Chains A and B, each alone.
Chain A
Amino acid sequence: MPGTYIPSEYLPILIALMAATAIVVGGLLFGSILRPRRPYPEKLLPYESGNPPVGEPRERFSIKFYVIAMLFVVFDVEAAFLYSWAVAYGNIGLYGFWGMVIFIVIIFIGYAYDWKIGALDWKDANEDKDKDKDTKEG
C-alpha cells in the first residue's frame, strides 16, 4: 500500500510481548497440572495474623495525597514536553533555549505557589483543629 507507514521496527516489541505472555501463561498452566488444590474456608480467609478478619478491608480511607496526585498529572505532561525539546535542542538554537526557560519559569511559579500553600505537605484533614494534640515525630 503506497503511503502507508508500517512501523516495522516495533514488530519485535510485539513479538516480545507475545513471548512474555506465553511464558507467564505457560508457567501458570504447567503449574496448574502439578499443584494441589485443597481449599477449605479457613484457608481462604484473608491473612490477618491468624485471627478472623475484622471489618471490611476496603473501607473508606483518607489517602492525603490527592492534591499531589493532581499535580502529578500536570508535571508529568510537562516532563513529556521536555523530551521532544531535548531531542531537537541541537537544531533550535537560542530561540529554543529561551523558549524553554520561559516555560520552566512558568512551571516554577506554579510549583513555588503549590509549595507555599502547603500542597506538597502531608495534609491531615483534622490537623488545624487538634494541632496541640497531634504529636509529630521526626
Chain B
Amino acid sequence: MDFALTLGIIVIKIAVVFGIVLFHVAYATYFERKIIGRMQARHGPMEVGPHGLLQPFADIIKLFFKEDIVPSHADRWLFYIAPAIVVISSMTALSVLPFFEGFVIADINIGLLFILVITSISVYGIVIAGWSSNSKYSFLGGLRSAAQLISYEIAMGLSLVGVILMAGSMNLSDIVKAQHQYPLGMFAFPQFLGFFVFVVAAFAETNRAPFDLPEAEQELVAGYFTEYSGFRFALFFLGEYIAMLTMSIMVTLCFLGGWTIPLFMTNALPFLSYVPGIVWFLMKVYAFMFLFYWIRATLPRYRYDQLMAIGWKVLIPLSFANVLITAFIMRWL
C-alpha cells in the first residue's frame, strides 16, 4: 500500500512534468518564430488562430499525417531508433531537475553529473542518424556533431566544478540552497568565468546558433536529419527543444539561484518574498530561452574548426583557471 502510494506520486509527478514540458516545447517553437520574425521586421506566424497562437497544434497534426519515408539503402533499424534516442535521453534528463522547493521527480545526490551524462547520450542519436541515412549531407552532419561533442564537452564539465566547489554538493536542490545563503544570491557573480564557459558550451550542446553546425541549413540542407520526415523529423525537434529547456533550467539552477532571489532583494523589498518560487524560476528560464532566440537571430555560424579552437584553446584553459581560482579563494579568503 505504502509502495503503491509512493509509486502513484512518482507517476503523477512525471505526468505533470512531461505534460508541462511538452506544452512548453510546442510554444517554444511558436515564440522562436515570433521573436525572430519580429527581430527581422516581419510578423512570424499569423494565420492559425489569433496571432498564430494555434500554430504549434497545426504543426503537430500536420506532422502526424505526413508520410514516413525511409530512404533506400538506409540502415533501417539504426534509422528508426536514432530519433528515439535523442528524445528519450533528453526527456529522462528532466527527471532530476528541481522546479521549486521540494518538487523534483528523483532527488538523487549526483543530479548534476546525471544531467551531463544523459544529455551527452543524445549526441549518439545524432551521429547514428547521420550515419544511417545513407546521404552525404546527413553523414557530414553526423561527423560535425561528433567534432562538436569533443570540442565543448570537457569545458562544460569543468565549468561546473566551480559551482560544485562552492556548493559542496552535486545535488541540484542543495546547489540552489547554497546560492540562497551566499551574499550575492547567485553563483553567476563569483563564478562569472564558469558561467561564461557554461553558456557557450550550452549553445554547442543544444546545437543552436552560432554552433548549429550539424544541421547548418545553408550548407548541409538540414544536416543529420535531411532524410527524416513526418513524426520522426518532429522527434528531432522535440529533442532539441527539450535540450534547450534543460540547459536553460541548468543555468537557472547552477548560476542564477533557481527559485530563490538574492537575500538583499527580499531585505530591501520584503513583499517579494511572498511571490512563489516557481515564478522566479520560470522568469529566469524564459529569459534564458529568449537569449537562445536572440543569439540565433544575431550571430553568424562558426566553422567547426573554429569551434574546436574555441573549445580547446579558450574554454578549457578558462575553466581550469576557474577551478584553481575558486579552490584558492575558498581555502584562503
A: residues with CB less than 8 A from B are 9-13, 15-17, 19-21, 23-25, 27-28, 30-32, 34-39, 41, 43-49, 53, 57-58, 61, 63-65, 68-69, 72, 75-76, 79-80, 82-83, 86-87, 89-90, 94, 97, 100-101, 104, 107-108, 111, 115, 120-122
B: residues with CB less than 8 A from A are 7, 10-11, 13-15, 18, 63-73, 83-84, 87-88, 91-92, 94-96, 105-109, 113-114, 131, 133-139, 143, 146-147, 150-151, 153-154, 157-158, 161-162, 164-165, 168-170, 221, 226-227, 230-232, 235, 305, 308-309, 312-313, 316, 320, 323-324, 327-328, 330-331
Q: Identify the 8 closest CB pairs spanning chains A and B, nearest first.
A: A20-B91, A16-B95, A46-B135, A12-B106, A86-B164, A72-B150, A122-B305, A79-B157
B147 touches A65 (CB 8 A): yes
Q: How far is the CA of A82 from the CA of B331 in the complex (A)?
A: 16
A-B contact pairs, 27 of them (CB 8 A): A9-B107, A12-B10, A12-B14, A13-B106, A16-B14, A16-B18, A21-B88, A23-B87, A27-B64, A28-B84, A41-B72, A44-B70, A44-B71, A46-B73, A46-B136, A46-B138, A47-B226, A48-B136, A63-B143, A65-B308, A68-B151, A68-B308, A82-B323, A86-B162, A89-B165, A104-B320, A120-B313
B84 touches A24 (CB 8 A): yes
B226 touches A35 (CB 8 A): no
The 8 Å CB contact of B150, one of A13, A65, A94, is A65
A35 touches B154 (CB 8 A): no
The 8 Å CB contact of A97, one of B15, B106, B331, is B331
What residues on B are CB-neighbors of A101 within 8 Å?
324
Which has the most chain A C-beta neighbours within 10 Å: B11, B72, B106?
Answer: B106
A39 touches B108 (CB 8 A): no
A46 touches B231 (CB 8 A): no
Known: A19-B18, A57-B134, A58-B134. A69 touches B88 (CB 8 A): no
Known: A45-B72, A75-B154. A31 touches B170 (CB 8 A): no
Known: A30-B64, A35-B66, A57-B139. A122 touches B94 (CB 8 A): no
What residues on B are CB-neighbors of A90 within 8 Å?
168
What residues on B are CB-neighbors of A61 within 8 Å?
139, 143
Q: How far is the CA of A35 from the CA of B172 in the complex (A)?
A: 42
B137 touches A47 (CB 8 A): yes
A36 touches B331 (CB 8 A): no
Please give me the residue from chain A that is nearest to B73 by CB atom. Answer: A46
Identify whether the interface residues of A are mostly helix, strand, loop, or mixed: helix
What residues on A are CB-neighbors of B7 within 8 Å?
15
What residues on B are CB-neighbors of A36 within 8 Å?
65, 67
Please give me the residue from chain B that is nearest to A36 by CB atom. Answer: B67
What residues on A are CB-neighbors of B73 within 8 Å?
46
The 8 Å CB contact of A12, one of B66, B95, B235, is B95
What residues on A are CB-neighbors of B235 within 8 Å?
24, 27
Q: How far is the CB of B328 from chain A (nearest CB, A)?
A: 8
What residues on B are CB-neighbors of A121 within 8 Å?
309
Q: How far is the CA of A92 from the CA of B15 in the complex (A)?
A: 42
Q: How far is the CA of A11 from the CA of B63 in the complex (A)?
A: 33
A17 touches B92 (CB 8 A): yes
Please give me the residue from chain B that is nearest to A25 by CB atom. Answer: B84
Q: How far is the CA of A36 from the CA of B151 in the complex (A)?
A: 41
B135 touches A47 (CB 8 A): yes
A20 touches B168 (CB 8 A): no
Q: How far is the CA of A80 from the CA of B170 in the complex (A)?
A: 13
Q: How far is the CB of A102 from chain B (nearest CB, A)?
A: 12
Q: How far is the CB of A122 from chain B (nearest CB, A)?
A: 4
A83 touches B18 (CB 8 A): no
Q: How far is the CA of A38 from the CA of B157 in the complex (A)?
A: 47
Given A13-B96, A48-B135, A94-B331, 8 other A-B contacts at CB below 8 A?
A: A16-B92, A35-B67, A63-B146, A75-B154, A76-B153, A76-B154, A87-B168, A120-B312
B14 touches A86 (CB 8 A): no
